[in-house]
Structure formats: structure tokens, C-alpha cells
A and B are shown apart, each in its own frame.
Chain A
């Protein structure tokens, strides 16, 4: 069964220059999918459409068989590409907030992850470094038992050691029956965790996609090397 169905989606920010133009994709349950493409090709736009933060000009999006809305928000766990919490809040306030609004939030898991990283629950977000803030966000998002995780550039802007931690957190904390969509242009770092991939180019066109292992075997190259060939300037 597909957890995500996107049918003929079009989205324009300016008239006659669509960021996404008639895009149709489906994501099966239980897969980690890399949405890979150059900057500005529409990856974040697509993720925001699935999260319900943007409205499509045409087309339909279904998550777990439901149109995007209040019900799909209950099963989608979204990590934006930049910090989105009120920095005046303390980490423990956020834990409480997530516990109240998300019935699938596992506070014990979040507390354990925070403790593993020695992040003080009583610390205000404003007192944390950019990297630690991103880790707190990721911990909160991955501590939900969601059916679909949308991770928009989760490793952009963090050092390589933090990238390993973030990817490790993603792999070890997601529900195996759930799917994860990761957008990034840092393919080398993520490709080892991907089950499936989609190469997306400007206008939201899918140039290539499929099973990550099969593609690597077929071309005897890493996804990163294939990406560099496909998107050669």
C-alpha cells in the first residue's frame, strides 16, 4: 500500500513559471526515500505541499488514503529546513507541547535521546547552538510514531559528526512500517540509508528514480556519482 500518492500536482509562485508542473509520484509504506535534486528544483515546495503548508494550484495529494488536512497532520511528522520553534521556550516546554498535541509522541524516547546528547531539558532554545537546536527539532520529530516523516534538508548546515548522529537517529528511531522522505543535495551522506531515490530537476520533473541498491548495481556507481552525471552543468 502507498502511504503517499501525489497526482498531477502543479504549483506556481509566479504566473507561467511553475515550480512543480504536473508531478505525480507515489511512495510505498516502509521505505526511506531520498528526494534528491539541485537547489531550487522544488523539493521543499513538494514537502510543504504534503505537510499542508502550501496550497497546490491543481492536483491532489493523499497521505494514508486521506486528502492533506487535519487528519493527515496526525500521521505526518515534518522537519522543516530551518529552526521553527519559539526560541523563548525551554526544551521541556516543547516536550510538553508535543505530548499534548500529538497522541503518537513518545516522550520517553525523546527524553532518552536528549539525555544521550547531554541536552538539558531546562535550557532555553535561545541558549543552544544552531546545531543543538537542529538536533532538538530532529529528536522531537523522530520521537513520534508517525506513518510518514518529511525531513527537509535534515543534514544541511551541520558538521559531519552531527550528520552521522542525525542519520543514526533517523534510522534507529523510525517506525519500520512508516516511510521517510528526505530531501537533500548532500547525497553522499544520505545514500547509504536510502531504499528508494528520486532525482528531481527544475519544474519538478523526475529525471530518474527507483531502488537505490538496484541502481547502484546496474550502473556500478554510487548514487552521488550518478547524480553528478545526470545533473552535469
Chain B
């Protein structure tokens, strides 16, 4: 049944997302073609130069709007599907509550990741097209190449562990953000009948501020402690210890995911009140 739920969630999310994604990539291309005119030293009419600068600005804004659109679309679907009248259908399907949650979570995380890729692709496209005739592109690519080589000289094969850790942490942090928002929407929907969306936003901002402050304090103290300890290490221990720290951070994020998932599941399974 999870497969069927996923199919419907993907279909519904993809319906408008792909159009926005293509527009974003198109804006990246448009910005790319505008950059050479905007930065050209040649005698370009001021109106044309101003137009290209505006075009670049609009493209950047458009890509930003795409990001916001994707996030809003994912959470509106979650809210509408579960807590409006559509919830009568969703929660009377012969599926486990866990399957409903898993479907929403997997589709939300995958679409968030896909959105990030599209944004990177749009920005990269703009830069590569925009500076294709410029020495900057060559220098930019050389800089990346040199940086990778330099990092490799320090890390050796550990670079692969760091890349895997970065990918896993990106996925786990995206999952945490998604589940946290799910928690806020579900909690708001279980405690209020009216103004659920506003309540969810208020809960999100309050809870987010509290947790961000706590984690910032935690990371400042643990970061300075770890930094002091790392200074005392011999160079050959640096990479194994860094890998271990990354593993611990990843385990910590998985633990947070477990807590948020359990809270969400509990609310959907035991506290659901569709009025």
C-alpha cells in the first residue's frame, strides 16, 4: 500500500513542480545570457544594460520563488490531504497510519532534494553560460580542481567518507526539517479547530527559535571543546577522529529523526480528531 500512496503523492506533487523546475532552469539560462551584457566593458546602451541587470535580478528572484513554491506546495498538500475534508478519505483508506506518514515524508524529502538540485543546476547554468567567454570560468573551474586536489592531499581516501557523510547529513537534516514542520502542522490541527494554518506557523516560529537557540549554544560549546582536543592530536589521527565525529553527528540526527517521527506517528495514530 505504501507504493500506491507514494505513487499518488509523487503524481500530485510532480503535477506543478516540473513546470516550476523548467521555468527555474529557463531563468538560469536567461540570466546566463544576460550576464555578459551586464558586465561587458563595451559601449552598451544604458537601457540595455539596465534591462539585463533587471533580468538577472528577476531570474535570481524566480529561482528563489521556485524554492519557496516547492516547500509551500509540499506542506499545503500534507495539510490538505490529512487535516481538511480530504482527510476523511485519506484516513479511511485501508492502510496503516505509518504508511500514510512514510509516504508523505519520503515524497517531501525527495522533492526537497530535487528542488535543491534544480536550484544548483539553474545557478551553475547561469554562471557557466554567463562566463563562458570569460577567463573567470576557466579560473573558477581550475580553482575547484585545485581545491579538490588540496583537500585530497590532506584527507587521502577519507575524502570519500566526507562526501558520503555530507550527503547523509544533508538528507538527515532535510528529513528533520520536514518532520519538524509536519509536527507543527499536526499539533496545530489536533489542538485547534479553526485557524490551523496560522497556529501551525506560530508554533513553528516559536519552536524553531527555541530549538535553534539550544542547538547553537550546544554547538558553540561542543565545537570549541572538540576544536581544543583536535589541536592536541597528531596529524595522522585527524582524519579518523573527524570521521568519527561526523558519524556521531549523523547518529545524533538519526536520533532526532526518530523522536520527531515517533511524535508525528503518535499524534496521527492516537490524537487524530477530524471534525
For B8, B89, B274, the residue with the greatest tally of chain A CB atoms inside 10 Å of its CB is B89
A73 touches B (CB below 8 Å): yes
Q: Which residues in window 40-55 of A have CB below 8 A to B?
A: 48, 51-55
Contact across chains for A84 and B272 when beta carbons are under 8 A apart: no
Indicate if the CB atoms of A100 and B4 lie closer than 8 Å: yes
- For window 244-275 of chain B, which residues contact chain A by CB distance below 8 Å? 270-275
> A71 touching B274 by the CB < 8 A rule?
no
A102 CA to B89 CA, complexed, in Å? 12
Judge whether A102 and B94 touch: CB under 8 Å. yes
Interface residues of A toward B: which range?
20 to 34
**A52–B274 alpha-carbon span in the complex (Å):** 9
Number of contacts between A and B (CB, 8 Å)? 55
Q: Are A84 and B89 in contact (CB under 8 A)?
A: yes
Which residues of A sit under 8 angstroms from B273, Cβ to Cβ?
A: 53-55
Answer whether residue B85 sits at the interface, using C-beta atoms and an 8 A cutoff. yes
Residue of A nearest to B269 (CB): A55
The answer to whether A53 and B88 touch across the interface, beta carbons within 8 angstroms, is: yes
CB distance from A34 to the nearest CB of B (A): 22
**Inside 8 A of A51's CB, which chain B residues have their CB?**
88, 91-92
State A219–B64 Cα separation when bound (angstroms). Answer: 72
A71 to B96, CA, bound (A): 9
**Cβ of B88 and Cβ of A52 under 8 Å apart?**
no
The secondary-structure label for the interface of chain B is: loop
Q: Give Cα distance in the complex from A48 to B91, angstroms.
A: 11
- Whether A82 contacts B85 by the Cβ 8 Å rule is yes
What 0/1 pattern do residues 123 to 143 of B give for CB contact below 8 A with A? 000000000000000000000
Contact A73 B93 (CB under 8 A): yes
Residues of chain B whose beta carbon lies under 8 Å from any beta carbon of chain A: 1, 4, 8, 80, 85-89, 91-97, 270-275
Given contacts A55-B272, A80-B88, A84-B85, 20 further A-B contacts (CB under 8 A): A13-B275, A51-B88, A51-B92, A52-B91, A52-B92, A53-B88, A53-B272, A53-B274, A54-B272, A55-B273, A73-B94, A78-B92, A83-B85, A84-B86, A84-B88, A85-B89, A86-B80, A86-B86, A101-B4, A101-B94
5 smallest A-B Cβ distances: which pairs? A74-B94, A84-B88, A73-B94, A84-B85, A53-B274
Q: Please, could you name 10 A-B residue pairs with CB atoms under 8 Å apart, sorted by A?
A: A48-B274, A52-B92, A53-B272, A55-B271, A70-B94, A76-B92, A78-B92, A97-B8, A100-B4, A101-B1
